Amino acid sequence: MPTSCEYARLRSRMVAEQLVKRGICDSRLLDAMRSLPRHQFVPEEHKPRAYEDRPLPIGARQTISQPYIVAFMTENLRLQPQHKVLEIGTGSGYQTAILCHLAGYVYSIERISRLAKMAGERIGNLGYGNLDIHIGDGSQGLPDQAPFDRIMVTAAAPRLPDVLRAQLNPRGGQLILPIGDAPAQELQLITRAGGRFTTRSLLGCRFVPLIGRYGFDSQTDSASFVS
């Protein structure tokens, strides 16, 4: 198993080779990914591979996204210290921790209680207190806490849920999410200005399915969604 110093070197190499060389340039984001111990967010048997550019299983048929996708989605949201953020799909908590590092306050929803509990403990151990994790159907968002300056969905929806779009701040709120089924998904960025919404397609991707009222049903085979 790598030592702490070796993990730090692997993080620096991850940032330099997987992120900077591929166009990620937000200095605050790069600093966050240099400092956050990604290996602490994966099961013991996967720790030596934590800084490889690939998704890894975290249990419950869920995955932690590859570092580049985490960075790409985060950079496109252009997070500011005052932003209130909604994350749908806490998962391992790694992306959540990055959001906590960059934004003012983060609300995160996870449907699998075991994952939510472990993620909360990991993030708390890192010293972040600007987080509220909810267990429930993320496809419905958190209307009682809306509006949100930014919404990040880390699971694929069959279509854009109107209920999430409605929870965006009318003054420039942005939502990023993958849309599509198992064979092909597209990462989209939605921006709100008053009652007007604009959509920008970013890249092709593969995420686990968003399970819930406005997502896929509970019988959907998650394994077919990711390689």
Residue positions annotated with a catalytic role: 65
Collapsing DSSP to helix, strand or coil, 13 comes out as helix
Q: Give the separation between CA 130 and CA 108, rounded to whole angstroms.
A: 11
Contacts 24+ apart (CB under 8 A), 189-198: 189/76, 189/77, 190/160, 190/165, 192/165, 192/168, 194/170, 195/170, 197/165
Q: Give the separation between CA 111 and CA 134, rounded to whole angstroms.
A: 8
Say if CB 46 and CB 111 are below 8 A apart. Answer: no
- Taking phi over 0 as left and psi of -120 to 50 as alpha, with beta for the rest, 150 belongs to beta
User: Cβ of 166: how many Cβ atoms within 10 Å?
Assistant: 14
State yes or no: cis peptide before 143, omega within 30 of 0.
Answer: no
